[in-house]
């Protein structure tokens, strides 16, 4: 008897509306979340850990953690607010991922 069981991460796209990536400026960033599942024979059977949502750019392959930091603003460093929508952005962002306006 050979049983393959284990914990594997599974990436979930939370919405399929592309957002503008603050780094490359292309609308190819999506809200995603990585959940961890207990799986048997590579089939996820039970979600054991719910991940934090983040924005990941398909092109830059960089996860942007500003959403997490927006929930804990005291921990944020080097942040500034979008002049347009007031959301918290990271230093170095050229475009706001929430409203798509240049900052």
Q: Which tokens belong to 92?
A: 């170095």
Q: Is the alpha carbon torsion for 25, 31, 36, 37 positive or negative?
A: negative
Among 27, 34, 60, 67, binds Zn ion (CB under 5 A): 60
Binding positions for Zn ion, 71-90, rule CB under 5 A: 82, 84-85
Q: Cα separation of 74 and 60, whole Å? A: 27
Q: Does 24 bind Zn ion (CB under 5 A)?
A: yes
Residue 19: CB minimum distance to Zn ion, A: 10
Nearest C-alpha neighbor of 38 from the set 27, 53, 49: 49
The strand ranges marked E within 2-77 are: 5-13, 29-40, 43-49, 54-57, 63-64
- Please choose, out of 16-24, 38-46, 47-55, 71-79, the segment that lies near Zn ion by the rule CB under 5 A: 16-24
Q: Between 9 and 86, whose beta carbon lies closer to Zn ion?
A: 86
Residues that bind Zn ion (CB under 5 A): 21, 23-24, 57, 59-60, 82, 84-85, 96, 98-99
């Amino acid at each position: 008897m050979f049983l393959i069981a284990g914990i594997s991460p599974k990436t979930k796209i939370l919405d399929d509306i592309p957002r503008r990536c603050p780094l490359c400026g292309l609308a190819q960033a999506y809200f995603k979340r990585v959940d961890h599942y207990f799986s048997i024979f590579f089939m996820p059977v039970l979600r054991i850990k719910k991940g934090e949502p983040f924005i990941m750019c398909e092109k830059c392959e960089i996860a942007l953690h500003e959403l997490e930091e927006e929930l804990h603003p005291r921990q944020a460093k080097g942040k500034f607010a979008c002049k347009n929508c007031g959301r918290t952005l990271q230093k170095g962002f050229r475009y706001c991922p929430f409203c798509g306006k240049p900052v």
